[in-house]
């Protein structure tokens, strides 16, 4: 009475999908708009930093050679010939016995080779000209930040594929990148299927539910750094569904559908993949939830057939769609970061298949702890709201209990990981 599908391992499924990575595009945008985007090219220093010899303190620039005889008992005296702040250019070259009053960040005048901080100088009131006295020897180069000592022109400062955070943005500004080459956001199509679905602004009707998966997936697409195009929801009718999916596929880089992938009487996606001539990479996974998650390829474009069940849909996105988007954004670590953590709840039910359980992370001292999201409310919908991680519980003959160490995928961490690690029981 039901079609028999052969389940494959999650690791194998992830590999099949990532083999169909599509080539990301780049685009040039204004520095103002670049927050959170990923660099399409390495960030290279376009000039030395600093680009001139510079004072790190407020003080007096002078010639160290003039301080050779200075001591507590024998202060040496300097005539202050100029007064410059940051951004001002010194006009006078120092001669023997001369000093320039200089502020933090200002350019060291010619002739000077050190800066004596205010705190070590004594100002002398005279009628004619400002005089300072210094009771200690200075070394050549003391308190001078030399040209190019922080960054050399041509140095690679940030690799392509890295995310632009406030620090990277500061670097872009420092080196005059008013335009920035970033990875173009992939276009991800979203289609919800199911006769039972109402729009979010429609009143409830008997037998129907509001379409929450499309909104959830749109939010996951956004979090992953892509743009989404929502093509609406489809009733379970083959011909119109085929038409919509076929047209949508032309406009996007990848297409996500929710629902219709199981073996129910109105689950149409299998027929649609066939009608499209798409190659089905897999349609059954040895995992829970989301065992019916299906991925197909049509002319190098991936079609992700996620389950209509909200948890399965959520997990399917993070395992399979997220890394494909990251790869197209030039991220060299496209998979979610995997860490270990101690389980803080029991999960007693044994399962032959690996489970990916929505969870959240907490910290105790320097240790990571992981909690079932919504454990006190056992329902499928609300448990998603606190999730920031997926606990990996490998399949086996017994359940899990508080205190067990488990692997966890972090969903809101930018570090990422170069490979999807095998699911092995600890």
Site for its own copies in 10-29 (CB under 8 A): none
C-beta of 50 vs 334, nearer to its own copies: 50
Of the residues 19, 178, 348, 398, which one makes contact with its own copies according to CB under 8 A: 178
Distance separating alpha carbons of residues 398 and 332, to the nearest angstrom: 37
403 lines the binding site for its own copies (CB under 8 A)? no
Q: Are strands 197-198 and 209-210 parallel, antiparallel or unpaired?
A: parallel
Of the residues 173, 402, 418, 421, which one makes contact with its own copies according to CB under 8 A: 173
Residue 146 neighbours by CB distance under 10 Å:
13
Of the residues 222, 240, 243, 251, which one makes contact with its own copies according to CB under 8 A: 222
124 lines the binding site for its own copies (CB under 8 A)? no
C-beta of 140 vs 235, nearer to its own copies: 235
C-beta of 233 vs 281, nearer to its own copies: 233
Residue 23 C-beta: closest distance to its own copies, Å: 26
CB burial class (10 A; 0-12, 13-18, 19+) of residue 268?
buried
Window contacting its own copies (CB under 8 A); options: 7-15, 133-141, 246-254, 367-375: 367-375
Give the contacts of 321 (CB within 8 A, at least 6 positions apart). Answer: 188, 220, 221, 224, 254, 256, 304
Window contacting its own copies (CB under 8 A); options: 7-15, 31-39, 328-336, 344-352: 31-39
166 lines the binding site for its own copies (CB under 8 A)? yes
Task: Spell out the SS3 assignment of 197-238.
Answer: EECCCCCCCCCCEECCHHHHHHHHHHHHCCEEEEEEEECCCH
381 lines the binding site for its own copies (CB under 8 A)? yes
Residue 334 neighbours by CB distance under 10 Å:
23
What are 409's two structure tokens? 């995928």
C-beta of 174 vs 346, nearer to its own copies: 174
4 lines the binding site for its own copies (CB under 8 A)? no
Window contacting its own copies (CB under 8 A); options: 6-14, 261-269, 270-278, 297-305: 261-269
Q: What CA–CA distances, in Å, run from 161 to 79, 221, 325, 328, 425?
A: 54, 18, 12, 9, 32
Of the residues 12, 332, 367, 401, which one makes contact with its own copies according to CB under 8 A: 367
Judged by CB under 8 A, the chain residues 269 through 328 that form the site for its own copies are 308, 310, 314
Distance separating alpha carbons of residues 346 and 392, to the nearest angstrom: 14
Window contacting its own copies (CB under 8 A); options: 6-14, 48-56, 325-333, 395-403: 48-56
Judged by CB under 8 A, the chain residues 192 through 221 that form the site for its own copies are 194-197, 199-204, 206-220
C-beta of 169 vs 298, nearer to its own copies: 169
Distance separating alpha carbons of residues 365 and 75, to the nearest angstrom: 54
Residue 294 C-beta: closest distance to its own copies, Å: 16
C-beta of 65 vs 238, nearer to its own copies: 238
Distance separating alpha carbons of residues 392 and 373, to the nearest angstrom: 13
352 lines the binding site for its own copies (CB under 8 A)? no
The residue written with tokens 């969870």 in the block is 359
C-beta of 22 vs 175, nearer to its own copies: 175
C-beta of 71 vs 222, nearer to its own copies: 222
Find out whether 105 and 54 touch, Cβ atoms under 8 Å: yes
C-beta of 69 vs 200, nearer to its own copies: 200
Judged by CB under 8 A, the number of residues near its own copies is 117
Residue 86 C-beta: closest distance to its own copies, Å: 4
Q: What CA–CA distances, in Å, run from 305 to 16, 120, 260?
A: 15, 72, 8
Give the contacts of 72 (CB within 8 A, at least 6 positions apart). Answer: 135, 136
Of the residues 136, 385, 402, 425, which one makes contact with its own copies according to CB under 8 A: 385
368 lines the binding site for its own copies (CB under 8 A)? yes
153 lines the binding site for its own copies (CB under 8 A)? no
376 lines the binding site for its own copies (CB under 8 A)? no
Residue 307 C-beta: closest distance to its own copies, Å: 10
What are 182's two structure tokens? 């970033």
**DSSP single-letter state for residue 45:** -
Window contacting its own copies (CB under 8 A); options: 69-77, 92-100, 241-249, 371-379: 371-379
What are 355's two structure tokens? 């489970």
Residue 140 C-beta: closest distance to its own copies, Å: 21
Q: Which residues of 304-322 are buried (b: 16+ CB within 10 A; e: fewer)?
A: bbbbbbbbbbbbbbbbbbb
């Amino acid at each position: 009475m039901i079609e028999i599908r052969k389940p494959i391992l999650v690791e194998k499924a992830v590999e099949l999908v990532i083999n169909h990575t599509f080539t990301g595009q780049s685009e040039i945008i204004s520095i103002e708009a670049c927050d959170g985007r990923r660099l399409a090219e390495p960030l290279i220093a376009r000039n030395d930093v600093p680009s001139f010899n510079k004072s790190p303190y407020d003080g007096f620039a002078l010639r160290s050679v003039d301080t050779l005889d200075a001591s507590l008992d024998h202060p040496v005296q300097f005539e202050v010939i100029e007064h410059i702040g940051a951004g001002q250019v010194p006009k006078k070259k120092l001669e023997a016995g001369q000093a320039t009053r200089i502020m933090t960040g200002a350019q060291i005048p010619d002739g000077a080779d050190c800066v004596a901080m205010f705190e070590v100088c004594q100002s002398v009131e005279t009628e004619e000209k400002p005089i300072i006295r210094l009771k200690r020897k200075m070394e050549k180069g003391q308190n001078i930040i030399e040209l190019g000592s922080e960054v050399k022109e041509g140095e690679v400062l940030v690799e392509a594929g890295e995310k632009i955070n406030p620090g990277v943005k500061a670097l872009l500004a420092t080196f005059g990148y008013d335009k920035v080459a970033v990875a173009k956001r992939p276009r991800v199509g979203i289609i919800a299927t199911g006769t039972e679905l109402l729009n979010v602004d429609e009143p409830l009707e008997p037998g129907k539910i509001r379409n929450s998966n499309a909104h959830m997936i749109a939010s996951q697409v956004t979090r992953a750094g892509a743009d989404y195009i929502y093509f609406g929801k489809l009733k379970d009718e083959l011909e119109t569904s085929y038409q919509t999916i076929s047209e949508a596929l032309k406009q996007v880089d990848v297409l996500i559908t929710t629902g219709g992938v199981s073996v129910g009487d109105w689950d149409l996606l299998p027929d649609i993949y066939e009608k499209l001539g798409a190659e089905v990479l897999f349609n059954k996974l040895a995992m829970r939830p989301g065992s019916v998650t299906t991925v197909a390829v049509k002319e190098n474009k991936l079609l992700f057939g996620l389950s209509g069940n909200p948890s399965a849909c959520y997990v399917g996105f993070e395992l399979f769609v997220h890394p494909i988007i990251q790869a197209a954004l030039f991220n060299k670590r496209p998979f979610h970061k995997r860490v270990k953590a101690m389980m803080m709840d029991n999960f007693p039910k044994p399962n032959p298949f690996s489970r990916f359980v929505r969870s959240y992370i907490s910290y105790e001292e320097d240790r990571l702890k992981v909690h079932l999201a919504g454990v006190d409310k056992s329902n499928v919908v609300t448990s998603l709201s606190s999730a920031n991680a997926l606990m990996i519980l490998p399949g086996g003959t017994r359940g899990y209990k508080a205190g067990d160490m488990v692997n966890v995928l972090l969903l809101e961490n930018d570090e990422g990981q170069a490979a999807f690690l095998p699911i092995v029981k600890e």
